[in-house]
Structure 1
Amino acid sequence: MSQRRLNLISAALVLGVFTTLLDTTIVNIAIEHLRAAFDASIAQTQWVATAYLLLYVAVIPISGWASERFGARNVWAFSVAVFLAGSIFCGLATSLPMLIGFRAVQGIGGGMLIPLSFSILTRAAGPERIGKAMVAIALPAQLAPVLGSVLGGLILQYWSWHWMFFINIPVCVAALALVRFLPEVPGRPGTRLDTLGFALLTPGVIALAYGISEATGAGGFTAVTAWLPLLIGILLVAAFVYHSLTTRRQPLIDVRLFARRSFGLSSVITFMAGFTTYALTLLLPLFYQQIRGEGVLATGLLLIPQGAGTMLFFLLARRIATHVDGRFIVAGGSALIMIGILPFVFTGLDGGGILLLAGQLLQGIGFGAAMFPVMTLAFGSLTHDEIPSGSAAFSVVQRVGAPFGVAVVAVILQSRLDSADSPAQALTAFTGTFWWVLGLSLIPCALAFLIPKTRKKTAQVTAPDQ
């Protein structure tokens, strides 16, 4: 496949992935605005985000089977079309229940896009170009939270909330226009769905996602609405693991992939990113709004250096990184994240703005350096036939594991804020939580040295290792 064709494939996939991630960020910062618009409680309005999350994770496990059964390109186009329809109806919603229902429709479309994009891109690029191709997925994933905050602030300040969803229309239409460039791999009608695996894993990940979302509320993980779904989810997922290991048929997700050193370790590091990379996407906006008193738009603008740092890595440092052992890139990225957190650990109620922005720039560079080799290693280690199942498995870890880390950090922050009676004490609550994130960043830094040594001239790609 020519590089030009691969670039067109990447462009189509970027549009699909970016619009779903951007939409998630914009909606999350608009919960308070929607609560006021519909005269509802926070608990009721939160279902705008929760409904999307639950349906999003519900369809991830079947993405591998669907791509094999109906063809990856067909399922990808269907997912974009469903997300587009959900976006239109969300924008036209006249009540909160309508909006929640159509957000669920959006989740069905959005949930399949990322694992399918991983699968299509990995197969199209091949092991020789997987490192370069993965930028198409990694860069939007890091930039969407930053740009979403800015766009969300602009929309809520100068337009109506309906445009949070209408903004998806031109992006989805452009993605559908580029579908013809995606590789056409015919489906295999004889591919059977692992119904028992589906019945175990899908409600399992839904229960986990719901329990995690409830843990960020009052009571944290001790609330019945949090620990009970988590317990049910753990039991169902454990039952699925047993089923996957013992079934004679092709399982919905082959959990044996996690026993492979490269794929398993990459998944663990991705899971730990919830306590560091993704936790910072929660802490930084809250810090600027609650401690520094910034508005939504100003907060979004203040977060730009973080996205700029990630872009800087992918545009400049990535070419150098492909000639350096991936272990040192991941460890160096984790170290940069920790250095970037330090200004927030020692900050005051005001001042030090330049240091905070510089810290975010280092965080952004660290994000790119820490996650890029991990994603490359995970998918570069899969064979052609393993890619659909591996993409679904990795996406489950990413979409359930990462929010778990964020929820834990949110509980730590809330427990400290509960006893804060003054701005100075609130600042102490934040700086103490930043210390936790700094300490947890040591774990992926240490795990980096367990990654299989990579060859210098072939990017961070290794042969499948058992």
Structure 2
Amino acid sequence: MKTTPSHPAAPPATPVRGSPGATAIALVVVVGSLMSVLDTTIVNVALAPLARDFAAPLTVIQWVATAYTLALATVVPATGWSVARFGTKRLYTLAICLFTAGSVLAGLAWDVRALIAFRVVQGLGGGLIMPVGMTMVVRAADKASMGRTMALLGIPVLIGPMAGPVLGGWLLDHADWRWMFFVNVPLGVVAAFLAVRVLPRDPAGTATAPRLDVPGLLTLSPGLVALLYGLTVAGRERSPAAPGALVPMALGAALIAVFTVRALTVRQPLVDLRLFGRRTFAAGAGVMALFPCAYFGSMLLTPMYYQVVRGVSATTAGLLGIPQVLATGLMMQVAGGLVDRAAPGRVVVTGVLTASAGFLAFTLQVGAGTPFPRLVAALAVMGVGVGMTMMPAQTAATRELSHAQVPQAMATIGITGQIAASVGGVVMSVLLTGAMTARGVTTDDHTAADAPRLADAFQHTYGWAVALMALAVLPALLLPARRTRRDG
């Protein structure tokens, strides 16, 4: 059966190919992405202090992070339709403005519920920044240099995770948690200005934009929220059969099943699941499901381990993460060139194995008194693997697609990664809470004598994440093991 692209997007008004146009667009996208990455990494280091300030348990405070990623996952499916309807420049600028407004509201939050709600507003804007930005970059870059151009989008991964935890830690130690969100405002203003002045104009596309798949949106997004909420309740109640957990999980699973069946049968679905019929795309998406679930889910716990078990300040916890993110960002630049010259399958498989080995070395050493250099070195090895995995997997997944298919492909890859990160955050929080309960300790009320048991709970949780990360090698093996003519 012939596959029809579900959301044909309007072509750029001025076709740009090669380095100058693609590089300029990529650098504008970098500024917006940097704001989003900074926010995420700042919040990660703040979960333990926020739990203390709001007197909220871990299963509640983790929704400050999960609500954001869920909102991302909610809006990403509509990216293909939105690009065709409004154009990339308008949509990107709107996303920056919405994210900035959400940052202001989050900084003004009066309790944890308000904070979680305003994080949703942030996520609705943040969910469009990367897929729309990547759509513009992929359209502008030629296939022979796509890996190098896409590697520019790794700059936020280099700068954000280095600056974010340290800046967030300093603000928590010396100022107020509200400034973690207010710091986004000046960067948001700069990003919006650059988007208006630099990005090329494109037609709104009202004549060719398809109808929005409203039934798809109303089944997928609530289904995801219900499923993850049920998982959270199951972790709190320590039983998936608890009424508060079983009902939302069953409802969420049913809604997602309805969405899946419908997406495979209607002509213009919200997310074109037929793209998974392409082996390379399916393999790349598979990597982007398993790997971020393990990586981002577990990385929510690392600053908490340093602060709660090891007793360091939020600033120190941020500083301890610099070698890992530095390794990730630098390797991402190298891997971008490698994907242009070598088979993507070999690059990604090597990355997954390297990341898993470093993560395993870290996990085996997690304890109440392990020397910090040993832990940091292991995480740096993992960072090298991360840099060789995620961006190369996305590049490989979209390289063989036409320009008309790119918005849908980027939306699908984006929602896969965001759902994976959301699920990972919930699952790891639930596993950690269960492990601490089984050992009779909590992150709130503990003494120095409890540190070994707390460390054991973290190590137990990390063990599950290592196994999940290693599973990503299976879809990675399905990526092309040889360069093709279409690779340039």
What residue is the counterpart of 1:327 in the other structure? Answer: 345
Q: Give 1:225 shift.
A: 4.2
- Name the CA distance, whole Å, in 2 between partners of 1:101 and 1:434: 29
| Aligned twin of 1:161 | 177
What is the identity, as a one-letter code, of the residue corresponding to 2:410?
Answer: S
The answer to whether the 8 A contact 1:153-1:297 is kept is yes
Candidates 423, 434, 454, aligned match of 1:426: 454
Tell me the distance in 1 between the aligned counterparts of 2:362 and 2:61: 34
Aligned to 1:199, which of 211, 214, 218?
A: 218
Contact 1:215 1:407 in 2 (8 A): no
Of the structure 1 ranges 101-110 and 298-307, higher mean CA displacement relative to structure 2 is found in: 101-110
Task: Measure how far apart 1:392 and its partner are.
Answer: 1.5
Which of residues 303, 308, 320 in structure 2 aligns to 1:285?
303
TM, length-normalised to structure 2: 0.84
Name the SS for the 2:300 alignment partner.
helix
Which residue number corresponds to residue 359 of structure 1?
378
AA of the residue aligned to 1:134: M
Residue 182 in 1 paired to residue 199 in 2?
yes
Matched with 1:65 is 81
Q: Does 1:437 align with 2:453?
A: no
Deviation at 1:74, TM superposition (A): 0.5
Q: In 1, distance between residues paired with 2:436 and 2:52?
A: 24
Deviates more, 1:281-290 or 1:365-374: 281-290
Q: 1:337 aligns with which of 355, 358, 377?
A: 355
**Alpha-carbon distance between aligned partners in 2 of 1:165 and 1:239, rounded to the nearest angstrom:** 37
Residue identity matched to 2:43: V
Residue aligning to 1:389: 408
Is 1:374 the equivalent of 2:390?
no
Which region of structure 1 is more displaced relative to structure 2, 132-141 or 239-248? 132-141
2: CA distance, partners of 1:78 / 1:35: 32
Letter in 1 for 2:198: F
SS at match of 2:483: coil
What is the CA–CA distance in structure 1 between the aligned matches of 2:178 and 2:271, rounded to whole Å?
38
Q: How does 1:135-284 map to 2 (within 5 A)?
A: 135-141=151-157, 144-179=160-195, 180-190=197-207, 191=209, 192-212=211-231, 214=233, 217-219=236-238, 221=240, 223-248=242-267, 250-284=268-302
Read off the aligned partner of 1:188 and give its amino acid letter: G
* Aligned sequence identity (%): 33
- Please report how far the alpha carbon of residue 27 of structure 1 lies from its aligned counterpart in structure 2 after TM superposition: 2.9
Cα RMSD of the aligned pairs, angstroms, is 2.9
Please give the TM-score of this superposition, normalised by the length of structure 1. 0.88
Deviation at 1:376, TM superposition (A): 0.6
| Aligned residue type for 2:190 | A
Residue 271 of structure 1 deviates from its aligned partner by 0.9
Q: Deviations over 1:401-421 (max 9, x none)?
A: 233234334434333322325
Kindly state the Cα deviation for residue 258 of structure 1 after the two structures are TM-superposed. Answer: 1.3
Give 1:184's aligned amino acid: R
Contact 1:19–1:171 (CA<8 Å) still a contact in 2? yes
User: Judging changes above 3 Å, is the alpha-carbon distance between structure 1 residues 235 and 95 closer, same or farther for their aligned structure 2 residues?
Assistant: closer
CA contact (8 A) 2:158 2:328 kept: yes
Cα distance change on mapping 1:377 and 1:319 into 2, 3 Å? closer
Q: Residue deviations 1:367-422, cap 9 Å, x none?
A: 01122320111121321111111122111111112332343344343333223254
Runs of 5+ consecutive residues of structure 1 not aligned to the other structure: none
Separation of aligned partners in 2, 1:65 and 1:425: 50
- Distance change (3 Å), C-alpha of 1:265 and 1:228: farther
Distance in 1 of aligned mates of 2:475 and 2:88: 33
Does the aligned pair in 1 maintain the 2:223–2:253 contact within 8 Å? Answer: yes
Q: Which stretch of the first structure deviates more once superposed, 405-414 or 269-278?
A: 405-414
In the alignment, is the contact (CA less than 8 A) between 1:52 and 1:103 conserved in 2? yes
Is 1:298 the counterpart of 2:316? The answer is yes
8 A contact 1:334–1:367 mirrored in 2 = yes
Q: How far apart are residue 350 of structure 1 and its match?
A: 1.7
After superposing the two structures, state which structure 1 stretch, 25-34 or 67-76, moved more. 25-34
Within 5 Å, give how 1:92-103 maps onto structure 2: 92-94=108-110, 98-103=114-119
1:132 maps to: 148
**Which of 6, 25, 46 is the equivalent residue of 1:9?**
25
The structure-2 alpha-carbon separation of the partners of 1:20 and 1:280, relative to structure 1 and needing over 3 Å to count, comes to: same
The answer as to whether partners of 1:267 and 1:394 remain within 8 angstroms in 2 is yes
The 5-angstrom pairing of residues 449-464 of structure 1 reads 449-455=477-483, 462=487
Deviation string, structure 1 residues 227-273 (Cα, Å, up to 9, x no partner): 4333322222221222222224x222211011211111111111111
Is the 2:148–2:333 Cα contact (8 Å) retained in structure 1? no
Rounded to whole Å, the distance in 2 between the matches of 1:11 and 1:220 is: 48
Tell me by how many angstroms 1:150 deviates. Answer: 1.7
1:313-350 Cα distance to aligned partner (Å, 9 max, x none): 13446535543322222222122223312143045432
Taking a change above 3 Å as real, the CA distance of residues 428 and 37 of structure 1, as seen in their structure-2 partners, is closer
